Structure 1
Amino acid sequence: MAIILSTVNVNGVRAAATKGMLAWLDATEADIVCLQETRATDAQTAAALAPALAAGWVLTHAEPESKGRAGVGILSRRAPDAVLGFGSTEFAASGRYLEADFGELTVASVYVHSGEENTPKQDEKYRFMAELGAYLKARTGEFVVSGDWNIAPAEVDLKNWKGNQKSAGFLPEERAWIAELLAAGYVDVVRALHPDVAGPYSWWSYRGRAFDNDSGWRIDYQLARGELTGRAKQAVVERAAAYDQRWSDHAPVTVQYR
């Protein structure tokens, strides 16, 4: 089936809803929108998105056990047939992964946290990656996992790659993990459709003039497998026209599958 799928880290759904996210949802042609970092409970997320839900969007959400952190969701034009996680024990309540079935297609929203080299936070990131990676490699069928991976796969995926070679998000172990998923049969559909360009970046720091200078990172993407990969016809990062028009430090990444 033809489908338009978007993914965006909202950087706090309650704040994003007051800054322009609701207008974007009203205008988008997407059939499904994967959300990351809602940083809210199920009830708070539903309240923030109440106008969108009243307009017909259906919300599926995994609230985080840690207040103010993580939280992932899926907005869809129709209710999913089934919803589940990925069977993790340690991260089941972390609000980092959620998947939903729509007929033969399964769509997942994932949030891999940023990490910090040589800290317990990075160790936790690696444990999450190990569990999630094993699950994703075992998946079959029409499947796309979208989200904020907090990993730039290659030099072309961040503006200042030379200065970030020892930074979390561009560490060799992290990049190798993404490479393993691609070797296992996943396709980075945005990169496949834009093979020779820098980026297109999806995240820019709020600090300095990173957005104005397009000094960003491509850390939000869609990994797909199955026949779906051959039907990805167009991919775009919906970058705001100006700094003051942003409703998140991330931009929606939208792919049309035909």
Structure 2
Amino acid sequence: MRVATFNVNGIRAAQRRGFQAWLAERDPDVVALQEVRCSPDKLPTGVFGEYHLTYEPGQLAGRNGVAVLTRRRPAAVRTWDGEVLMRAPGEEHTHREPSPPGTMARGLSPFASEGRYVEVDIDGTGDQPAVTIASLYLPKGGLPAHLQKPGGREEPDGGAKYERKMGFLASFARQLDRSRKAAKAAGREFLLLGDLNVAHTRQDLTNWRGNAKSEGFLPEEREWFSSITSPRTLVDVVRRVHPDADGPMSWWSWMGGAFDRDTGWRIDYHLATPSLAKRAVTAGTDRPASADARVSDHAAVVVDYADA
């Protein structure tokens, strides 16, 4: 089973840059997408090929939006906003279907309409396990007030973006625990895919010394990441396959030649339940051969999971 996660930074721009060619060449069984950033009526025709689309666009025009592409129609879908766009291959309708009501962890309601999370249940077939697959776009955040300085990359906001992200992290940890346990109770593996906007260790960004006080690599963010992963709960699959490597990086700024120098961050992840993580036989980042060939400022992270 080949599974990919890809922050496309706008599906219409990604289509122009070659998303469909990537999808056809890599031929994954499941793809989680983040920052689709497109209303249902403006999704490019045929961009998702012969996949079933589950899309939570959110209610912020031109921002966020998460999706899961699957070979077969999901057995069930859950999202925080209560509605989701579901399309079979060849369909073009724009109406959303209600997803079953679920219990949202305390503190997530301010994020419910932002198009940040959707999860689908995929039934097992043959030697492939039943699995719940989630796509997450975690808020980028900002710096705490005491680290902000006038004239920086962003104007000081008194730590508002930082506090909002930290609130999300605390609430999402509870939600993630619930989803993982619910999948286990239903006899399913659990796989969280997405852009977590946190580099966990020094191996996960090129210039870790220069970014020691940057959002995405703050000690409290890294501690949160450690709290949601363990050998008994969720495993960082790419790091399990490449325990001693730097990277592989998955995001590079468009600016300053960062891609050519491979000055990047690893912020896109597969976090899997232990038995599923053990099935990973290959794992890595689809880093393009040149900056001109980039589909997005992110690269897809692709893992092949062996059948039982």
What is the TM-score normalised by the length of structure 2? Answer: 0.79
**RMSD, aligned CA:** 1.3
3-state SS of paired residue (1:255)? strand
Pairing 1:133–2:148 present: no
Separation of aligned partners in 1, 2:25 and 2:46: 13
- The match for 2:259 is 211
Deviation at 1:64, TM superposition (A): 2.4
Pairing 1:158–2:205 present: yes
Deviation at 1:96, TM superposition (A): 0.6
- The match for 2:160 is 120
Of the three residues 247, 252, 258, the one matched with 2:300 is: 252
Identity %: 44
- The match for 2:84 is none
String of CA shifts for 1:185-239, please: whole Å, max 9, x gaps.
1100000000111100000011111100111000001101142121111102000
Instruction: Decide which structure has the larger Cα Rg and report it.
Output: 2
Separation of aligned partners in 2, 1:24 and 1:202: 16
CA contact (8 A) 1:200 1:218 kept: yes
The one-letter amino acid of 1:19's match is R
Residue pairs, 1:1-258, within 5 angstroms: 3-44=1-42, 47-48=43-44, 50-53=45-48, 55-85=49-79, 87=104, 88-103=108-123, 104-118=130-144, 119-138=159-178, 139-140=180-181, 141=184, 142-183=189-230, 185-258=233-306
Structure 2 gap segments, 5+ residues each: 81-103, 124-129, 145-158
3-state SS of paired residue (1:236)? strand
Separation of aligned partners in 1, 2:161 and 2:67: 23
Separation of aligned partners in 1, 2:234 and 2:274: 8
String of CA shifts for 1:155-188, please: whole Å, max 9, x gaps.
1100000011111000011101110011361100
String of CA shifts for 1:112-154, please: whole Å, max 9, x gaps.
1211112211211112211211111232320000100010000
3-state SS of paired residue (1:211)? helix
Deviation at 1:105, TM superposition (A): 0.5
Structure 1 gap segments, 5+ residues each: none
Bigger relative contact order, structure 1 or 2 (CA pairs below 8 A, ≥6 apart): 1
Separation of aligned partners in 2, 1:152 and 1:43: 35
CA contact (8 A) 1:25 1:52 kept: no
3-state SS of paired residue (2:173)? helix
Deviation at 1:33, TM superposition (A): 0.4
CA contact (8 A) 2:15 2:47 kept: no
Mean Cα displacement is larger for which, 191-200 or 227-236?
A: 227-236
The one-letter amino acid of 1:216's match is G
Deviation at 1:249, TM superposition (A): 0.4
Separation of aligned partners in 2, 1:41 and 1:128: 24
Separation of aligned partners in 1, 2:139 and 2:202: 20
What is the TM-score normalised by the length of structure 1? Answer: 0.94
